[in-house]
Amino acid sequence: MTNQLALLGGPKSIATPLPTFNTIGEDEVAAASAVIRTGILSAYIGAAGAGFLGGPQVRAFEEKAAAYFNVRHAVAVNSWTSGLIAAVGAVGIEPGDEIITTPWTMVATATAILHFNGIPVFADIEPATFNIDPHSVEKLISPRTRAIMAVDIFGQSADMRALREIANRHGLRLISDTAQAPGALADNRYAGTLADIGGYSLNYHKHIHSGEGGIVVTDDDRLAERVRLIRNHAEAVVQSDAPADLCNMIGYNFRLGEIEAAIASAQLGKLAGRVESRQRAADQLNAGLAGLRGLTTPLVAEGNTHVYYVYGMKLDPERLGVSRERIVAALRAEGVPWLASGYQNIHLLPLFQKKIAYGSKGFPWNQPFVDRDIDYSHGICPVAEDLHERTFLGLNLCMGEYAQADVERVIDAFRKVWDNLDALASS
């Protein structure tokens, strides 16, 4: 029987692997080569003065990014992890200040908070969008809460209107980790620009990339200046005789190189096209997977556009009669690539379970500046936990542009598995 599942001995639905992507083209080769020929691969100087803001490629990229995202300041950094750390430092947190964030993200969101001895507190997520749940945020606000770190997970903005309202009411800063959603819109503004400070990743897996890199965006002159200082050793402040705000001026070297900046400029010009390609693939998946029992395709919240770093679905194992793990095994056997079974529950990592960050003795949670016991136990984020453990199924669309014929093969494989749910259940 040709329709028999590959998992049960039938033929594979996708017998030859789908193509991999190379999103670096001649534009990037030319841009990088031109920089290499100058011999100047970075032009930063740590001290105050002309070199403090970096070389011509970095500054040109920042100008282009600020215009693109329609913000006063775009600050290039050597990774978005660096950008997150600089943003946390820039908002001026004191040791022991709490920042509320989501566990449904990659670990850098939460570890960036620890860098200036901030304390991550985890709010639950909304089951339909996977983004941080403003109601859960509000319940976690304590006298020590200083900021909310939202994440625009999988490619659409968190509910920034609700988060802004909460932040204003409680005097909190709003930070946005928009690594996965460059080019997504929320109320006709670019995701990442609705917070006090936000930004994007330029790592190899993201919509546009320069190998490694990141962009911090903000309309706030002071935050931008503080990020620029943290990016570049903060020497310009700690060495000057002028009275200066020394808060969190432990500088780093977060400087993006000239080659990467030139590549990033070329890539930025391709962002809109790449976003469109993802949206086309997602529309095709939405149509092709519609009506499959016990499967929910992504919800795009009102006022949002989605740029599909991940195409996030939910399964209902009770209605399916089989577990997610069986479905995933069957899809994998059919040759479906890009599958993500579950995502992340950052609060359950040993780092937080054992509360060991700096050194081995429990710093910073064991310090007097942390005046309450922070709960990271299983059960604090029931929605995120259930999604991770039982019901979330994703397709990682994060690596390129998708041909209609390839997406169709993925849809066919899903439909084949769903045609055989009874066989799967009884096997």
For ligand PLP, the closer of residues 217 and 327 by Cβ is: 217
Tokens in use for 74?
């775009």
Nearest distance, CB of residue 400 and ligand PLP, angstroms: 16
Q: Is the dihedral of CA 154, 218, 172, 214 positive or negative?
A: positive
For ligand PLP, the closer of residues 105 and 193 by Cβ is: 105
Cα 372 to Cα 385: distance, rounded to the nearest angstrom: 24
For ligand PLP, the closer of residues 201 and 265 by Cβ is: 201
Nearest distance, CB of residue 196 and ligand PLP, angstroms: 17
Nearest distance, CB of residue 208 and ligand PLP, angstroms: 12
For ligand PLP, the closer of residues 86 and 333 by Cβ is: 86
Binding site for ligand PLP (CB under 6 A): 79-81, 105-106, 108-109, 151, 177, 179-180, 201, 203, 214
Nearest distance, CB of residue 115 and ligand PLP, angstroms: 13
For ligand PLP, the closer of residues 213 and 251 by Cβ is: 213
For ligand PLP, the closer of residues 6 and 75 by Cβ is: 75
Nearest distance, CB of residue 155 and ligand PLP, angstroms: 10
Nearest distance, CB of residue 262 and ligand PLP, angstroms: 18
CB atoms within 10 A of CB 327: 23
For ligand PLP, the closer of residues 179 and 282 by Cβ is: 179
Nearest distance, CB of residue 212 and ligand PLP, angstroms: 6
Nearest distance, CB of residue 151 and ligand PLP, angstroms: 5
**Which of these, 215, 243, 220, lies nearest to 231 by C-alpha position?**
215
For ligand PLP, the closer of residues 99 and 320 by Cβ is: 99
